[in-house]
């Protein structure tokens, strides 16, 4: 019974993460300027990866795989924030038109 509950929660987290990724892709396609697009991609990808990681952690159980998954999530969160900041700063310095 406990295993079925863990699997159900895990799959719900995985589906939620996939939906966050889909909403980020939709925001990338639909938002008007580059700053809105960067915000949509960095935020939804970070949250989506968090849900996917938690879903996979529940399936993998305690151990080295869980530690690796959490480390990947932390590195991805840090790199998404830094990449978003650098792209926004570069765009501001280059004075890229808003309609690109």
Query: pLDDT 10s per residue in the chain (100 long)?
Result: 888 999 999 999 999 999 999 998 998 899 888 888 888 888 888 899 999 999 999 998 888 999 999 999 999 988 888 888 888 888 888 876 665 5
HSE of 62, CA atoms in CB hemisphere, 13 A: 0
Answer yes or no: is 54 within a domain.
Answer: yes
Domain of residue 11 covers 2-94
Answer yes or no: is 66 within a domain.
Answer: yes
Answer yes or no: is 99 within a domain.
Answer: no
Helices (H) and strands (E) in the chain, counts: 3, 0
**Number of domains, the chain:** 1
Q: What are phi and psi of 62, to 5 degrees?
A: -70, 150
Per-residue pLDDT, 88: 83
Per-residue pLDDT, 97: 64
Question: Cα(47)–Cα(39) distance, rounded to whole angstroms?
Answer: 12
The answer to whether the predicted template modeling score (pTM) of the entire model surpasses 0.85 is no
Answer yes or no: is 100 within a domain.
Answer: no
């Amino acid at each position: 019974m406990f295993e079925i509950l863990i699997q159900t929660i895990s799959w719900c987290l995985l589906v939620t993460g996939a939906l966050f990724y889909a909403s980020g892709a939709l925001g990338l396609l639909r938002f008007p300027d580059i700053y809105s697009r960067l915000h949509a991609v960095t935020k939804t990808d970070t949250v989506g990866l968090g849900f996917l990681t938690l879903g996979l952690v529940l399936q993998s159980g305690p151990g080295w795989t869980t530690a690796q998954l959490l480390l990947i999530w932390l590195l991805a969160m840090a790199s998404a924030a830094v990449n978003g900041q650098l792209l926004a700063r570069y765009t501001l310095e280059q004075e890229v038109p808003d309609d690109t």
